[in-house]
Amino acid sequence: MSELSVVGRRLPKVNSWQHLTGAARYADDVVLPRMLYGRLLRSTHPHARIRAIDTSAALAHPGVVAVVTGRDMPEKMGIMPSTQDETALAVDRVRYVGEPVAGVAAVDEDTAFEALSLIRVDYEPLEPIFTIEEALERDDVRIHDESRRANVFKEVHLAFGDLDGGFASADHVREDWTFFEGNTHAPIETHSAVASYGGDDKLTLWTCTQVPHYLHRELEKVLGISRARIRVIATPNGGAFGGKSDPFAHEFAACLLSMRTRRPVKITLDREEVFYAHRGRHPVLMHLRTGVRRDGEITACHLQTWLDGGAYASYGIATTYYTGALLTVTYRMPAYKFDGVRVYTNKPPCGPKRGHGTTQPRFAFETQLDKIAHDLGLDPLEYRMRILQPPGSRTVNGLRITSMGLGQCLEAAGRATRFSERHGQLPRGKGIGVAGSAYISGAGLPIYWNDMPHSAATVKIDRGGGVTVYCGTSEIGQGSDHMLATVVAEVLGVLPEDVHVVSGDTALAPVDLGSYSSRVTFMAGNATKEAACRLREQLFAVASEKLEVPTDRLAAAFRRVYDARDPGKGMSFVEAANLAEARYGVLSAGGSYRPPKGIGGDYKGAGVGPTPAYSYQAAVAEVSVDVETGTVTVDRITTAHDCGRALNPVNVEGQIEGSAYMGYGEIIGEEQVFRAGLHKKPSLLDYKLPTSLDTPALEAIVIETVDAEGPFGGKEAGDGPLNPVIPAIANAVYDAIGVRFDETPITPDKVLAALGKRDKRGEPKERVGPDGLGSTGKRDPKAALRRLTFGTEAREKKRDATTGALVESAPGGPGPEPGTPPVGSR
């Protein structure tokens, strides 16, 4: 790619205009003739058996057309095929307040709302489980009967390299407990779906989903009709951030109600319901033990994570692995051990939010690195620069690293903020902090096992020079439609505005696995590029003959095909297309992409972590702390991000800035918290999305390392830039007031308490955070912990310590053994 005509230019997104004129048709904007309006009845209990549901009064209510309950579609479903533990609507049992129990369709939404209060549900309350500690300990209360031990959903143990030797050779070992509070995506668009089952026995579902293909599969399973007769159309998502990547109750309910009534049915969630649908950031308790040499070189690292998963699996198995998988890709780490446990609790299910599972351990790790730098008297930025994992390498857990720009990111962010001359030098109340991070450009494996491509696209050229690209990607605001248009336009030598994009429609477009894990630019970009290159070969073949120029001298740009050595010699794109169509027939080609083999390890559990390319990023945060009110103001966040190559710099900067904003929100005030299972803040007034008057000045610096396998060198930009912002702010707060925040969010009350400025006298504290498993809950978890630790160690004896291996938790699990030390004791 010596010259690029479209890639890298600051062009408006091809789909901007419909957003800016009000013409974009989001799911709730879809209106069909004879359409009914649905609402869902939700559980008022955190944990209860459903004895009976009486829908007769609701059905008799004037204007109500149909009512469905869980028994009408009892098939188990869930996004991960190996852990399907949900039903579309609750059957027999509810497991969190807000869980959908029944659906009503009526002539209008007012009537549907009224009808909900006429449905009688007879609940038998069960004892609920709310904390990680209770979940581990309470063998007698099972949220899911299938759990092998207490309420453990998943347990993971991996070890790589010589951990004991690593710690033994360390000059300094740090151990820190860290807690990351749960939070949620809160896209401004609430979830919405319109289902229409027609006289042709075909079902069409318009829905704001990130994963039309996975939803397609689950609809077939739950509704019991062939996927061949179902069409899922992903409408433009009004924000998603991971929150629209599960199959949801309202989608199934709308479909079934439409099948029952033979009328279109729309269900749009209200804001409160979105907090119950959730699938957001897991609360994670972490223990991190890291050994370093005197110069800071890491010798060994042991991470333990406990994830509060809420009531169902969602992506939880992947989330659990992700809390451990990516800790190794940023800095050299010769020995690494990871133990992860995800438990069920009676709260809305957690799932993937921007940075999926990597955000929490990154917070723990980067705040700990700041402490290590402090302990060793090192500049925290220069320190990180010295211990970088090299490009073109393998990590200790077998992950292949290709392009790696963390060093450039740290350097650029440091230079832009004069970090090293200001860190430790600012007046009390002012602080500056830094952190680094990495993320995947899509997962190396699909969520269900198959050998098919992760992404495919077809491209068609019409006789007037119009180009259409078809791809199953979902446009969630990240700019994927524009990315597809950009890639096609670059290859074929037209402009993005000449390209029609058909995306997210399972009937029209080839499968793309979905807009999650930052996979679209890399995977759909490569698939689309391959399709477009096939068409370009045909164009060049005919142009070569006509122009009498060898094909390898031809170029295509600005709607022309021409001789690269003599650009005056050429023909229009339309002429080339017409010649090609005369020669080859219809101008249509497909392309597909599957990540290469061998990019991860070959142990069990190696499926999570590999990616064709990692993005890297560094953030510097500047803060002011009002020591009298406890208010933390973040003045500026500077993020440098290695995206390989910016296919559209405007969009890349937008992702970097938006990620910084979202990370800022997570550490300053957003929290998904509960009182006795009831969400404390299910509204946009109480759940604190930062406003324009709160959000710091945001600086985005684009670093291009031009990845050899990425489309035109591109890698991801949508998730990674969130991760470093959170620890950078915590590190800056330490620089400002000398208090370590080992938990999120950093609220004024915690700041005041740490400074000893509450009214009920307190001593100043050096840190705010958990002291172990149990400090976040009421019960003494020691017994459960001993059981868990014993189980872990018993299994480890069977494991080959040099290669690392995953051993699934044994059924039943061994009992407690006296004398086994609790996790985290020194």
Partner 1 sequence: MLRLPRFRLVEPRTYAEAARVLRDEGAGSLDTANGTPSLRVMVVAGGTDLFPNMKRRQFTPEVLVSLWGVAGARGVRANGHVEIGAGTTLADLATDPLLRERFAALPLAAASVSTPQLRNAGTIGGNVCLDTRCNWYDQSLFWRGAEGFCMKTHPQVVCRVAPSSPRCLAVASADTVPALVALGATARVESASGTREVALADLYREDGIRYLSLARDEIVTALTLPGEAGWRSTYVKLRDRNSFDFPIASVAAAVRVDGSTVTDARVVATGLASSPLQVEDAARALTGSRLEDDAVAAAAEAVHKAARPMDNTSGTIAQRKRASRVLTERALAGLRA
Partner 2 sequence: MTKELLSLSVNGERHTVAAEPHHTLLEVLREELGLTGTKHGCELGECGACTVLVDGEPVLSCLTLPAQVRDREVTTVEGLATGERLHPLQTAFAEEGAAQCGYCTPGMLMSAKALLDRNARPSREEIAAAIAGNLCRCTGYTAIYEAVEKASARV
Minimal distance, residue 252 CB to partner 2, in Å: 24
Selected from 4, 24, 385, 794, the binder of partner 2 by CB under 8 A is 24
Map the footprint of partner 2 across residues 458-497, applying CB under 8 A. Answer: 476-479
What number of other Cβ atoms are within 10 A of residue 280's Cβ?
27
Q: How many angstroms separate the CA atoms of 153 and 169, rounded?
A: 36
H and E: helices and strands count for the chain:
20, 32
Based on its alpha-carbon atoms, the radius of gyration of the chain, rounded to whole angstroms, reads 27
Q: How many angstroms separate the CA atoms of 189 and 30, rounded?
A: 14
Minimal distance, residue 17 CB to partner 2, in Å: 7
| Residue 258 one-letter amino acid | S
Minimal distance, residue 757 CB to partner 1, in Å: 6
Please give the DSSP secondary-structure letter assigned to residue 81.
G
Angle between helices 520-547 and 480-492 (to 10 degrees): 20
Selected from 503, 651, 744, 747, the binder of partner 2 by CB under 8 A is 651
1 touches partner 2 by CB under 8 A? no
Q: Which does 680 bind (CB under 5 to 8 A by kind): partner 1, partner 2, none?
A: partner 1
239 touches partner 2 by CB under 8 A? yes
240 touches partner 2 by CB under 8 A? yes
| Residue 455 one-letter amino acid | S
Q: How many angstroms separate the CA atoms of 467 and 501, rounded?
A: 9
Among 610-618, 689-697, 786-794, 813-821, the segment contacting partner 2 (CB under 8 A)? 689-697
Instruction: Report strand pairing: 284-292 vs 400-401.
Output: unpaired
Among 25-33, 93-101, 255-263, 604-612, the segment contacting partner 2 (CB under 8 A)? 25-33
| Site for partner 1, rule CB under 8 A | 28, 42, 44-45, 97, 109-110, 113, 268, 270-272, 628-630, 669, 678-680, 682-683, 685-686, 688, 690-694, 748-749, 752-753, 757-760
Map the footprint of partner 2 across residues 47-76, applying CB under 8 A. Answer: 63
381-418 in b/e form (b: 16+ CB < 10 A) is: bbbbbebbbebeeebbbbbbbbbbbbbbbbbbbbeebe
**CA angle at 454 for the pair 710 and 215, rounded to the nearest 5°:** 135
189 touches partner 2 by CB under 8 A? yes
Q: Which does 749 bind (CB under 5 to 8 A by kind): partner 2, partner 1, none?
A: partner 1
Q: How many angstroms separate the CA atoms of 503 and 508, rounded?
A: 8
Q: Which does 752 bind (CB under 5 to 8 A by kind): partner 1, partner 2, none?
A: partner 1
Secondary structure of the chain: what % helix, strand, coil (to 5)? 30, 25, 45
Minimal distance, residue 519 CB to partner 2, in Å: 18
Q: Which does 698 bind (CB under 5 to 8 A by kind): partner 1, partner 2, none?
A: partner 2
**Three-state secondary-structure class, residue 650:** helix
Binding mask 81-110 for partner 2 (x = CB under 8 A): ---------------------------x-x
Total interface residues for partner 2 by CB under 8 A: 59
Single out the residue of 193, 198, 212 nearest to residue 259, CA to CA.
198
Which pair of structure tokens corresponds to residue 495?
A: 């402009």
Selected from 134, 218, 653, 743, the binder of partner 2 by CB under 8 A is 653
Map the footprint of partner 2 across residues 765-804, applying CB under 8 A. Answer: none
Non-local CB neighbours of 198 within 8 Å, separated by 6+ positions: 204, 262
Q: Which does 42 bind (CB under 5 to 8 A by kind): partner 2, partner 1, none?
A: partner 1
**CA angle at 636 for the pair 404 and 415, rounded to the nearest 5°:** 45
Selected from 3, 199, 602, 691, the binder of partner 2 by CB under 8 A is 691
Which pair of structure tokens corresponds to residue 490?
A: 């670059």
32 touches partner 2 by CB under 8 A? no
Instruction: Report strand pairing: 767-768 vs 740-741.
Output: parallel
Which pair of structure tokens corresponds to residue 20?
A: 């800016």
Of residues 697 and 783, the one with the C-beta less far from partner 2: 697
Of residues 2 and 692, the one with the C-beta less far from partner 2: 692
Minimal distance, residue 158 CB to partner 2, in Å: 35
Q: Which does 239 bind (CB under 5 to 8 A by kind): partner 2, partner 1, none?
A: partner 2
Minimal distance, residue 679 CB to partner 1, in Å: 8
**Rounded to whole angstroms, what are the CA distances from 678 to 130, 421, 744?**
10, 48, 20
Q: How many angstroms separate the CA atoms of 711 and 489, rounded?
A: 13
For partner 2, the binding residues (CB under 8 A) are 10, 12-13, 16-26, 28-29, 31, 63, 108, 110-111, 185-190, 236-241, 270-271, 476-479, 650-651, 653-654, 657-658, 660-662, 683-685, 689, 691-693, 695, 697-698, 700
